[in-house]
Amino acid sequence: MKKIVIFWGVVLSTYMSAQISPEVIKTKIDELNKQKSAIESQIADLNKQLPAPIVKHWTYKGNATVNIGQNLLGSNWTASYGGNSTLNIGGQSHLEANYQNKRHSWSNSFDGTLGFFKNINVDSGVNDNINKNADILQLSSKYLYDLQKANLKVGVGANFLSQFIKTYDLAKSDKLLSDFLAPGILDVSPGIEWTPQPYLKVFLSPASGRFTFVSNDSIITKAEANRFGNDVDQRIRSELGARLDIVFEKELIKNLNIRSRAQLFNNYTRPQLQLDAINSSRGNIDINWQTDLFYKLTKNIALNFGFQVLKDDDVRVVNNKTTGEKTSPWNWRNTIGISFITGF
């Protein structure tokens, strides 16, 4: 009998618990909300006591690579099959310093490439001169204001392109071909940038000013020399045209990185007489396209492949010796090798 009473007591208690009135539930909710508000207020007070987070407006990154190669031939090889031994060394670096503060950004970059090679005649023991096979100096700076619409920013960019040291003709070692600021090309470009993806930037300037400097006397004062479109004694030449700058930088797959930049310029202020003299048109476009691929084997060793294409409509060479006709050639270079690479 006692067990039956206990059983029905438990059943009745459970039933009564399930039948809690709405008023009791609302009261309980109100109590919990008060506790929640008190806890949130305490959390807010504690957050105020914390030091303000440090916002880093400047960020930095960069990398540098060194390539070393050789092709050594014994004297028996050269006597039987011909050829020379070759030693080569080259270096390349890319540095960035970027500023970001709310809707304002300022990006700055440096690109440098320098390479040398040396032929060695094993039979005679006479070494050829050390020659240069790559020399690029490029500085870029760009300020942008974020429109916060359609991934668009407006601003102004500047780009300077030249080289580090003198370049001489391989056939005539005393003939100077180019030098620092000979040429030097400065572009100042107000425009708009579109960033559809973090790894792709497209900057368009409909009215970009270009200035070509040739400061070396032995180049600018000679009538027969290649003066990069400048007239004799014209140390600075000004142009106005449209400029398009496209940058693609991404890790394609794990450890495989690509950085590609294409720079296009169309000068639409060149006098008609000058166009007729060099058989050109206003539609001719100057092109500077450089791409580098790196595949990391280890932290500091990488396979690298790079190529560059250059075409400047103002740089003309004789295409027909009989008629003296000059054309603007396509210039290209490529590198393949194993590099020591470091970065931050």
Over range 196-220, report the average pLDDT.
96
Q: What is the mean pLDDT of residues 138-147?
A: 98
Show the domains of the chain with their CATH numbers.
Answer: 2-47 (no CATH), 61-343 (2.40.230)
In the prediction, which pLDDT does 296 show? Answer: 92
Question: What's the CA gap between 73 and 316, in Å, rounded?
Answer: 38
**What number is the average pLDDT over the span 261-282?**
88
Q: How confident is the model at residue 271 (pLDDT cuts 50, 70, 90)?
A: confident
The whole-angstrom separation of Cα 84 and Cα 68 is 17
Report residue 60's pLDDT band, with 50, 70 and 90 as the boundaries: very high
Least confident range from 90-99, 213-222, 312-321: namely 312-321
Structure tokens at 199: 């790894």
Instruction: Single out the residue of 130, 180, 306, 159 nearest to residue 244, CA to CA.
Output: 159
Query: In the prediction, which pLDDT does 213 show?
Result: 96
Which positions ≥6 away from 101 have C-beta within 8 Å? 57
Q: What are 19-42's pLDDT values in tens digits?
A: 567 777 788 888 888 888 888 888
Q: Which residue has the higher pLDDT, 276 or 167?
A: 167
The predicted structure's pLDDT at residue 3 = 54
Task: Give the residue, 51 or 126, on which the prediction is more confident.
Answer: 51
**Banded model confidence at residue 338, pLDDT cuts 50, 70, 90:** confident
Q: How confident is the model at residue 9 (pLDDT cuts 50, 70, 90)?
A: low
- What is the percent of the chain with per-residue pLDDT over 70, rounded to a whole number? 87
More confident residue, 115 or 9: 115
* Tens digit of each residue's pLDDT (9 = 90 or more) over 210-262: 999 999 999 999 887 778 989 899 999 999 999 999 999 999 999 999 999 99
The whole-chain average pLDDT of the chain stands at 87
Res. 123 pLDDT band, cuts 50 70 90: low
Indicate whether 269 pLDDT > 70: yes
Which of the pair, 135 or 48, is modelled with greater confidence?
135
Question: pTM value?
Answer: 0.82
pLDDT tens-place string over residues 163-196: 999 998 887 878 899 999 999 999 999 999 999 9
Confidence band, pLDDT 50/70/90 cuts, at residue 287: very high
pLDDT at residue number 4? 59
Alpha-carbon distances, residue 37 vs 24, 27, 41, 42, 274 (angstroms): 20, 16, 6, 9, 79
Task: Write the DSSP string, 116-138.
Answer: EEEEE-TTT-PBPPPEEEEEEEE
Contacts of 234 (CB under 8 A, 6+ apart): 214, 220, 227
pLDDT at 77: 63
pLDDT bin (cut points 50, 70, 90) of residue 126 is low
Q: Give the least confident one: 113-127, 164-178, 326-340.
A: 113-127
pLDDT at 303 over 70: yes
Residue (of 158, 336, 343, 334) closest to 251 by Cα position: 343
For residue 304, pLDDT over 70 is answered with yes
**pLDDT given for residue 25 in this prediction:** 76
Handedness of CA 35, 37, 40, 41 (dihedral sign): negative
